[in-house]
Amino acid sequence: MRSRVTWDLCWAWYHVLPEAQQGQIARMGFGHLLSVHPFHLDVPYLEALRERWEEDCKAFIMPWGHMIPTLEDVAYLTGLSVQGEPVVGLERRDYYDDIVELLGPEFVVGRRRPIRSILLGSLSKAVGLRGRRRGPLESLDEFYAGVRGSLNLGDRSEERSVRIFVSYLFGRLLFATQSSQMNCKFVLLLRDLAQAGRYAWGAAMLGHLFSLLPSSSQRSQSTGGFTPFLQIWGYTRFPMGRGTLVEGRQMMVPLMTRWEVAPDPRVTDRRAGDVRVALDHYPHDQVVWTPYVGEADASHPAVAAGRPLFDRHLLLLCLGTCEVLYLELVVRTLGWHQPAIEVPSLGREGHSRRRFFAEDRDWEADHGSTVAYWRDGGEQVARVTDLQDSSAYMEDYQARYAG
């Protein structure tokens, strides 16, 4: 499995930017995540985990039951906001003028119209970092020094420099795909940098990850989504693999900082097979269902603002993708008792189908109360998110979005 995440470069690039630009990016909601030192991807672990993803119910099917990464995991592990405006964008036939205005004319030179995607290589090339990769024997400090020496922001404005970096962060880390290009709709969300912090980036990241797990579960050669989050989520629930908790490491959000991962040796089928066997025989009584009980940093902005959503069924929106977070399958994750009952299949028709739209889409018209909840944090939409009768909800959902 080949991950498209280039975390080392995102981290180093951010930390060599001028202080004012770092501050702007932090206010947009990415500062906490970018404080986490990059670690090695545990590729055999991720491959064995992704094979257990079941698209019908949007969950990992483990020997001890269903498990689902939740918004609580996102808030505690990454520090990304899960409460806010949904990450959706307008569909245009051609983004040429938007790219020229927001990023610069050099990103459209020599390209045919209509332009609907950004070449991620052009973003790093624009600041002198094209082809920069951390060598297998290169320390993070050495790589950082190399990036510092190569970075060239030129005479472009601070706003454009920030947009170029955040666009690369989206395409290579938070919303990584199996492509070397990024949807231009992400760039439109960066038009007003002062307002970019209002978006629920963490919820969109989780929805994006859900949307790509089905395609990456068919033994493809690459995978998308923010895989470091998925890796640490697994470590916190069923500790195994090459991740270890570091004694004395910071106790505050983002909790990803607590983990250290041994260097990634050459990946072989045998190693992935070893992890599969280990998962099959993992002691059920050692599974951690509620890893954040007693955490001291419950007042962290991402955690405090997101807490009203932690026990609610929601629609996770990311551009033209809509994914269901169906928590009734994992009530033990919420600290509740879950009897041993047979979970009915939610069916492939409608529920598990991703939806993409080729025209302007007003999400508030379709999901008005949910969008209003994210925007205002009010309780007036408990009828949608409490879902006391979840079966009725799912029937309604399938009827509205099937086909």
Nearest to 161 by CA among 224, 220, 104, 116: 104
Does 384 have pLDDT greater than 90?
Answer: no
Q: Is 316 left (phi over 0), alpha (psi -120 to 50) or beta?
A: beta
Domains in the chain: boundaries: 39-87+199-336
Tokens of 224: 């998308």
Q: Is the pLDDT of residue 188 over 80?
A: yes
Q: For 103-130, what is each residue's pLDDT tens digit?
A: 999 999 888 889 999 999 999 999 999 8
Residues in CB range of 200: below 8 A, 6 or more apart: 81, 82, 83, 84, 85, 86, 87, 374
- Say what the pLDDT of residue 43 is: 83
Cα separation, 167 vs 22, whole angstroms: 14
- The whole-number pLDDT of residue 66 equals 86
| More confident of the two residues 325 and 336 | 325
pLDDT at 293: 85
| Most confident option among 209-223, 225-239, 365-379 | 225-239
pLDDT (average), residues 50-70: 87
Over residues 354-364, mean pLDDT:
40
Residue 401, pLDDT > 80, answer no
- Dump the DSSP string for 169-182: HIIIIIT--SSSEE
What are the percentages of helix, strand and coil residues in the chain, rounded to 5?
A: 45, 10, 45
Distance CA 57, CA 60 (A): 9
